[in-house]
Structure formats: C-alpha cells, structure tokens
Amino acid sequence: MIRTIGVTYDNEVELNESIDEVDFSRYRWFWTDFDQPTDHELQHLAYTFQFHPLAIEDCIHRLQRPKLDYYDDHTFFVTHIVREEEMEIIKEELDFFVGDNFVVTFHNLPCTEVAQVWNRLLAYRNLEKWNPFYVFYEVLDKIVDNYFPLLYKIEDSLDRIEDNTQNKSMDHLMDELFDTRYMLLSLRQTINPMRDLLYRMLNSHHLNEVMERREYFADIYDHLIKLSDMVTANREMTSDVRDSYLSLNSHQTNNVMKVLTIITSIFAPLTFIVGIYGMNFEYIPELGWQYGYFLTLGFMAVIAVVMFLWFRRLGWFK
C-alpha cells in the first residue's frame, strides 16, 4: 500500500490513497508511505521518485545496518524498529528518504510508529511547525523511545535471575542468562549504529534542516547514549551474575567434597577393623578375650574421635 499526505501551498492537508493519481506539483511538501509494498509497487521507488539504485537495493534487502547516505537531492536513512517476543529480539527496518519537499518512508511490516505520526499529521491544524524533517524527527523519536521498555524488561529479568525470586532450577537460570546476553548483543548491534547515525547527523554540514532543530535531534542522541550505556552495563552485570554463580558453585562443590571425605575417612578404617574380627581364621587370639569386643569398640571410638579432631584442625568444619 502506498499512501501520500500532501500539504498544499495554503497549508491544507490532503490524503491520497493511490500513488498513481497524486499530482505532486500541487503540494508545498508531501509524505509518501510505502507500507508493505508489493513487488509491483516497489517500482515506484525507481520510476516515480527516481531514487538511487543503491538506496533502493538497501530498501529491498532485509535488515541493513542503521546508517545515513547523502544523495544529490535527498538523504537516505536506514533505522531499526525493535520488539521482543519470548526472550528474542525481533528487528524491523524502517527506511526514510528525506528531501527538501518530501519524505518517503518504507517498511515491509506494519509500523505503529509511522501510523501514530501519520494520524497526528492528518488531525493537525497548525501546519507551520511541520516539514519533511519534522516528520522524520517525530517518527525517529518514537522509535528510540520504544527501545527503553525493552531494556527495562531486560533489567527486570536480570534482577529476577540474580535473586532467583522465582526459585527456578539452575539450568533454567543459566539458560535465561544466556538468552539475556544474546538479546543485549543483538540490541547493541542496533543501538550503537543508531547512536553513530545521530552523531553524524549532529556533526554533519550537509543537513541544514537538522541544524535548525539541533536540540531536538540532540535529545534523541542523549537517549541513545543512555541506551548504549545501559546495554554495556547490563552485559557486565550478566557476566557478574554468571561469575558469581560459578564461584558459589565451586565453593559448594568444595563443601560437599569435604563432607564426603570426612564420612569416608571415619568409616573406612572402622569398617576395616570390624572386618578383621569377622574373619573366620581358626586361631585369632583376640576373639577369645573376655573384653575383646568392648576393647575393640573403645579402640574404634578413639579412631573416630582422632579423625574428627584432625579434620577440625584442618579447618574443614568452618
């Protein structure tokens, strides 16, 4: 579906549902949205708008890295929209062609961020504030704002993993930790290039429009720096949780080993001794002694106590 909003020279808003019938010359500026275009509709990028073949190629290929390219009469932006589904990051590409009197958005999946701004523009009265770059700003601001809930969700999930408030098995926790790390890795691959994209915009001499609204794009840049910091800090947190768990585990193994060794060390000699007097040799003098049994019990008690004291001296009961 390709729809166009045109803003006439006397600031009227017009909505065109079909690209074929639009008379672009009537508009001071317009916004065309390629919403899940068919293969046939794709042709308009080249024939109607005459965009550069490389930019068109980037639209069609899935999931380019976020970036901006300067072309003769417009700037081309690739951005990522990010959602989470069952501990997996889903990314969609949203492309912008922004020129002096047009903005073209392109997306292969329904995009709420575009829809919200689209409807707001249609409903708006005072159109002086709006222009192609302002449309771009409004959508971009929504995209970046929508990264936050994801990171907050990851932080909450990390808190749950760390305290194991849900009393899950360790295998389960380690699995969740791994998935969390993977989500952070995946987010980083979107957030860092987005941040660099904004940085280039703010420090570029090509984009006069950005300069006029510098503080607005700087505000988005702020958000992206904060997001990037959060991703880094959360990845470090995940390794801390894992290392912490490993330390604890190794300490626990050690303790279990000590219990086993103490038990074995005490009972192995005792069992051997009772085995001796269980032998059936015809001549074992001790067997005939009157107090042989009690002496043996006493002797074994002494061994057990000595063993116990030895392990205590080794500090194994601490």
Which of positions 162-201 make contact with Mg ion (CB under 5 A)?
Answer: 189, 192
The CB-of-27 to a copy of itself minimum distance in angstroms stands at 28
With the CA atoms of 177, 180, 186 and 189 taken in that order, what torsion angle do they form, in degrees rounded to the nearest 10? -90
65 binds, among Mg ion, a copy of itself, none (CB under 5 to 8 A by kind): a copy of itself
302 binding partner (options Mg ion, a copy of itself, none; Cβ < 5 to 8 Å by kind): none
The single residue among 1, 268, 302, 306 that binds a copy of itself, judged by CB under 8 A, is 268
Give whichever of 212 and 229 is closer to a copy of itself, judged by the CB atom. 229
283 binding a copy of itself? (CB under 8 A): yes
Is 296 an interacting residue with respect to a copy of itself (CB under 8 A)?
yes
Contacts of 318 (CB under 8 A, 6+ apart): none
Of 162, 152, 158, residue with least CA distance to 180: 158
Considering only residues 218-247, where is the footprint of Mg ion by CB under 5 A?
219, 229, 232-233, 236, 239-240
Contacting range for Mg ion; rule: CB under 5 A; set: 82-90, 143-151, 166-174, 309-317: 143-151
Residue 258 touches a copy of itself, criterion: CB under 8 A: yes
80, 190 in Cβ contact below 8 A? Answer: yes
Handedness of CA 258, 263, 264, 268 (dihedral sign): positive
276 touching a copy of itself, by CB under 8 A: yes
What single-letter DSSP state applies at residue 105? E
- Pick the closer one to a copy of itself by CB: 115 or 218: 218
The pair of three-digit structure tokens given for residue 317, joined into one six-digit string: 């009961």
Q: Residue 44 in contact with residue 22, Cβ under 8 Å?
A: no
Task: Count other C-beta atoms under 10 Å from residue 221's C-beta.
Answer: 20
Q: Residue 171 binds which one of a copy of itself, Mg ion, none, with CB within 5 to 8 A depending on kind?
A: a copy of itself
Residue ranges in 229-248 that form contacts with a copy of itself under rule CB under 8 A = 229, 233, 236-237, 239-248
Of residues 95, 108, 186, the one with CA closest to residue 143? 95
- The piece of 141-149, 261-269, 281-289, 308-316 that touches Mg ion (CB under 5 A) is 141-149
CA distance to 12, 193, 278, per residue, from 56 (Å): 30, 20, 91
Region from 4-12, 21-29, 115-123, 274-282 binding a copy of itself, contact rule CB under 8 A? 274-282
Counting contacts by CB under 8 A, is residue 301 touching a copy of itself?
no
Task: Specify whether the CB–CB gap between 99 and 74 falls below 8 A.
Answer: yes
Q: At 8, which helix (H) or strand (E)? A: strand 2-8
Answer whether 221's CB lies under 8 Å from 195's CB: yes
Interacting residues with Mg ion (CB under 5 A): 58-59, 93, 141, 145, 189, 192, 219, 229, 232-233, 236, 239-240
